[in-house]
Amino acid sequence: MQHVDVLVVGAGISGISAAHYLKRECPDKSLLIVEGRETFGGTWDLFRYPGIRSDSDMYTLGFAFKPWNNAKAIADGDSIMQYLEETLEEYDIAKHIRYSHWVESVSWSSEEARWTVEIERPDIGERITIQCSFLYVCSGYYDYDHGYTPDFPGMENFGGRLIHPQRWDETVDYENKRVVVIGSGATAVTLVPELAKKAKHVTMLQRSPTYMVSRPSADRLANLTRAALPNDWAYALTRWRFVLLQMIFYRASRAFPRLLRRILLTGIRRSLRDPGQVESHFSPKYDPWDQRICLVPDKDLFEAFNTGTASILTDHIDHFTQTGLQLKSGQHLDADLVVTATGLRLKFLGGMNLQVDGQEKVPNELFAYKSMMLSDVPNLALSFGYTNASWTLKCDLTAQYVCRLINHMDERGYRSATPSFRDASIRPKPFLDFTSGYVQRALNLFPKQGDQSPWEVRQNYAFDIATIRFGDIEDSAMHFRK
């Protein structure tokens, strides 16, 4: 049976970040990365729908250690995959990855101070076991097998093609077709302008509006900075500029929601040829950042509406018909292709079964320690990014903390580190505070957070730098054993 010091689960952005820091900060530790799919990239390899792109700038979605040198700040999926491939090669990470390794269950033995990991190998039809001293889960939070599509009445009667974006492949034909995209989130905002380039017409059908903000896909100041300064300096300055802008924007939206709402809606009004649409289709009932704000690079979505190649409609679906969708308002939408950009299904820890000393651990009965470990679960860390900023910012910080923790344990001869939640004065709260449907549907799968450190999940990069990168490893909540 193979044993490694650190086993990383997942070879997407989180797993690649974890591998880099482990190789750099813990060079004496043996490392293995297991990935359930047949290639790296995670989300960026999974989604293949037209126009797939980053929903935040690449200066913060990119790694802290690997400058993003592309002229575009908002990048397409192929460019992101190329960036990840360059990272694997440049930092010699690829040799540590084993593909087609699905983790089914993990169990911890305190007596042996190690994890036993049961892995399914669909490529060879076998099951294998690997043991490790530290388990680092970087599998993201999407269910890669299934997206979320509501059970609309009459779906089986539709005579055209019905597809979820997560299942998109090269067989989907939308050229000169009447297309309806159901949804108002980042996927729909990305799909509509791209489909409109070839489709006969695209209708974005939403149940309720979403906040949107437009930004140029290329950041002029970033490109000027890169031309004037050494590459690493330019990247660091640009990265911090975007971090600070994100933090200011988020804090302002929480402190002055009405003002930010006015600013966002004014921007949309100026982008539309028919500003009267703003009240009907672009004015959410919730405050900014109660749900994620959608990014519209180069105003492409608004341009599609302005030219008439696409339109937007706010209504509810009554049922599907042979030729399209019957809406509750009485209107009928004719369609040859319906794309259900209606959200994602979430998984925690990739859906793996978790046991500690023979006792099953149910995630929603646990508390998240520093948003990266679990109460009463030894030697296990998980990578979970920000909801109000780029995912990678938190992944890089988490990887640095894991390396500090492992080195601290070695220096003092500890074999295990276990967060212990015993403070009855701490009030439990949901792990995620978003009101988005895909989050609310899955809250029962996630651990809780508390209302005090170190059990509080902060959405604040500056605070996390102070506490995660530079804070003490030993505290009253962390129990070590030799």
CA-closest candidate to residue 468, choices 384, 390, 388: 384
Domain boundary among 311, 342, 373: 342
Evaluate whether 143 touches 300 at the Cβ level (below 8 Å).
Answer: no
* Crossing angle between the packed helical segments 391-412 and 13-25, to the nearest 10 degrees: 30
What is the torsion angle, in degrees rounded to the nearest 10, for the CA atoms of residue 321, residue 323, residue 326 and residue 330? -130
Cα 412 to Cα 405: distance, rounded to the nearest angstrom: 11
Shared-domain flag, residues 366 and 380: yes
In this structure, the number of other CB atoms found within 10 A of the CB of residue 396 comes to 25
Residue 83 lies in a domain: yes
Residue 422 lies in a domain: yes
Evaluate whether 71 touches 218 at the Cβ level (below 8 Å).
Answer: yes
Cα 319 to Cα 325: distance, rounded to the nearest angstrom: 6
Q: Which helix (H) or strand (E) holds 212?
A: strand 212-215
Shared-domain flag, residues 185 and 206: yes
The whole-number pLDDT of residue 143 equals 87
The whole-number pLDDT of residue 219 equals 92
Shared-domain flag, residues 184 and 206: yes
Cα 35 to Cα 15: distance, rounded to the nearest angstrom: 9
Cα 33 to Cα 137: distance, rounded to the nearest angstrom: 10
For residue 176, what is the DSSP state? Answer: T
Shared-domain flag, residues 295 and 157: yes
Residue 245 lies in a domain: no
Domain boundary among 342, 371, 404: 342
Residues of the chain short of pLDDT 70, as ranges, are: 435
Across 254-309, the runs of DSSP E, i.e. the strands, are 294-297
Residue 229 lies in a domain: no
What is the torsion angle, in degrees rounded to the nearest 10, for the CA atoms of residue 223, residue 227, residue 233 and residue 238? -10
Shared-domain flag, residues 73 and 200: no
The whole-number pLDDT of residue 47 equals 92
Shared-domain flag, residues 265 and 359: no
Cα 229 to Cα 215: distance, rounded to the nearest angstrom: 24
Shared-domain flag, residues 48 and 93: yes
Shared-domain flag, residues 123 and 158: no
Residue 242 lies in a domain: no
The whole-number pLDDT of residue 343 equals 87
Q: Bridge-partner residues for 340, per DSSP? A: 182
Q: Which tokens sit at 125? A: 């039809």
Shared-domain flag, residues 390 and 413: yes
Shared-domain flag, residues 331 and 354: no
Shared-domain flag, residues 267 and 303: yes
Tell me the chain's radius of gyration from C-alpha atoms: 23
| Cβ-Cβ contacts under 8 Å for 241 (sequence gap 6 or more) | 59, 221, 222
The whole-number pLDDT of residue 207 equals 94
Question: Which domain does 324 fall in, by range?
Answer: 149-219+252-342
Q: Is 295 exposed, middle or buried (0-12, 13-18, 19+ CB in 10 A)?
A: buried
Residue 125 lies in a domain: yes
Q: Domains in the chain: how many in total?
A: 2
* CATH label of the domain that carries residue 294: 3.50.50.60
Residue 127 lies in a domain: yes
Give this prediction's pTM: 0.94
Half-sphere exposure of 458 (CA within 13 A, CB side): 20
| Cβ-Cβ contacts under 8 Å for 22 (sequence gap 6 or more) | 6, 8, 29, 31, 136, 399, 402, 403
Amino acid at 319: H
Q: Which tokens sit at 203? A: 């209708």
Amino acid at 107: S
The whole-number pLDDT of residue 16 equals 98
Residue 457 lies in a domain: yes
Shared-domain flag, residues 25 and 65: yes
Domain boundary among 342, 367, 386: 342
